[in-house]
Amino acid sequence: MWSSNVLTGKELSISGISATLLAQEFATPAFIMDEADFRTRAISWDDALKSAFGEHAGTVYYAAKAFLCTEVARWIKDIGIGIDVCTGGELAVALAGGVDPAKIELHGNNKSVAEINKAVSVGVGTIVLDSLFEIDRVAAAATQHGKVQKVLLRLTPGIEAHTHESIATAHEDVKFGFSIASGSAWKAIEAVRTHSSIELRGFHAHIGSQILDTGSFEVSAERLIALLAKYREAFGVELPELDLGGGYGIHYVPGDEELAPSVAMQAVASAVKTHCAVHSLNVPKISIEPGRAIVGPTMFTLYEVGTIKDVTLENGDNRRYISIDGGMSDNIRPSLYKADYTAVLANRTSTAPLLSTRLVGKHCETGDILIYSIELASDIAPGDLLAIPATGAYGRSMASNYNHVLRPPVIAVKNGKARVIVRRESEADLLGLDI
């Protein structure tokens, strides 16, 4: 749940800096990010891919949608892995951080003509095609710029991954990709082959998010490899690449398991090699797209307690409501997916009895709930600090200004020093867009 440099003893600290000092210097709410842990996790996925696949290891693309800013893009550049982006905005941030365009993969189910033109013009390494319209649009852009653009086809392998319905992306009834079962994937292959300005390198599949077992990844690999074999039989050549996407789950609450990079990659490698052997195929270059698995545990959110209210329920039980100075505007996942989190008292320890508690935000919504049920110390009072771990993925990146609440900053901590890498919004920022 916590990054490697967080201690949760008498007072929560990260890299030797206490939660109290962080709140005093940067105010709350704030996302506190462990830079060293981020780098270590990114490197561990790169090492695991290389160890499992050897010469057949492709690229680890960090999934920008989980969280991206220019400073994180600089870290990605330093580490030497790639970035998966899905909008013009994410592409702009990656480029601003100095990422080599050749190590950028452009994704998305509805890329605009402008986004495609930008990607082709700057030399993005790979574009993942998601519709017949995009095939024509990318081909036209490549022709316009005098290039041959490398592409992958995003396929739907027909897998019901074990995750929340809203973040399962590989069954048939979804907006993403070309279905293998329906034949639309083959029609897309034939369409790509009519264009000389795009080069089909292989296939891509992303089966979902927060997946905690390797079985779905193995089945996805099997079905993509079967299509590689069909392609070879039809056209006499082998496509050299597969991108098996991301979705690797992390530890959010006590008792959760986490897919270790080495375990995940060895299982996937075994499946890939087995099914390539069945079809007498060369093992293609294998790429992956971890986002949550890299950035999720590297952040926690620091809040200040505002008000406390005790409520008597219809069955006579009591529940304590603790309101903090953030909420669904900085973490929408509990409201969207009923995602589970835990929290700790961050500025001190307590031996007071525990009470059944609901941790809620400050927004004018009954559903503005961060933690539906948790046992917290009964002496927690206004002004205390609470920390929620594992908020690095889809916290700040999905943050909003609902109720005109200011989005929190991101504070990077390394070697006992803290600095702002994304500043807190101001009221001037809110007013600055009004005409």
Class of domain 6-29+297-432 (CATH, top level):
mainly beta
State the pLDDT at residue 162: 47
Average pLDDT over residues 168-186: 77
| CA 293, 286, 83, 131 torsion-angle sign | negative
State the pLDDT at residue 168: 41
Between 225-229, 259-263, 275-279, the lowest mean confidence (pLDDT) is in 259-263
Evaluate if residue 321 carries a pLDDT over 90.
Answer: yes
Evaluate if residue 163 carries a pLDDT over 50.
Answer: no
Mean pLDDT of the chain: 94
**pLDDT tens digits along 356-385:** 999 999 999 999 999 999 999 999 999 999
Evaluate if residue 300 carries a pLDDT over 50.
Answer: yes
**pLDDT tens digits along 281-295:** 999 999 999 999 999
**pLDDT tens digits along 397-426:** 999 999 999 999 999 999 999 999 999 999
State the pLDDT at residue 171: 47
Contacts of 226 (CB under 8 A, 6+ apart): 275, 279
| Residue percentage of the chain with pLDDT more than 70 | 97
Q: Pull the structure tokens for residue 62.
A: 């960090």
Average pLDDT over residues 178-194: 95
Contacts of 133 (CB under 8 A, 6+ apart): none
Q: How far apart are CA 380 and CA 324, in angstroms?
A: 12
DSSP 238-284: ---EEE----B----STT-----HHHHHHHHHHHHHHHHHHTTPPPP
CA-only gyration radius of the chain, Å: 23
Between 11-25, 92-106, 208-222, 286-300, the lowest mean confidence (pLDDT) is in 208-222
Q: How far apart are CA 316 and CA 330, in angstroms?
A: 33
The catalytic residue positions are 364
Evaluate if residue 269 carries a pLDDT over 70.
Answer: yes
DSSP 84-119: EE-SHHHHHHHHHTT--GGGEEE--SS--HHHHHHH
| Residue percentage of the chain with pLDDT more than 90 | 88
State the pLDDT at residue 160: 60
Q: How confident is the model at residue 214 (pLDDT cuts 50, 70, 90)?
A: confident
Give yes or no on whether 6-29+297-432 and 35-290 have one common fold: no
Q: How far apart are CA 131 and CA 133, in angstroms?
A: 5
The CATH number given to 35-290 is 3.20.20.10
| CA 12, 16, 20, 22 torsion-angle sign | negative
CB 152 within 8 A of CB 241: yes
Evaluate if residue 39 carries a pLDDT over 80.
Answer: yes
Evaluate if residue 65 carries a pLDDT over 90.
Answer: yes
Residue ranges per structural domain of the chain: 6-29+297-432, 35-290
Average pLDDT over residues 131-151: 98
State the pLDDT at residue 224: 96
- End-to-end alpha carbon distance in the chain: 43
Contacts of 300 (CB under 8 A, 6+ apart): 2, 3, 6, 14, 31, 32, 387, 388, 389, 390, 391
State the pLDDT at residue 165: 44
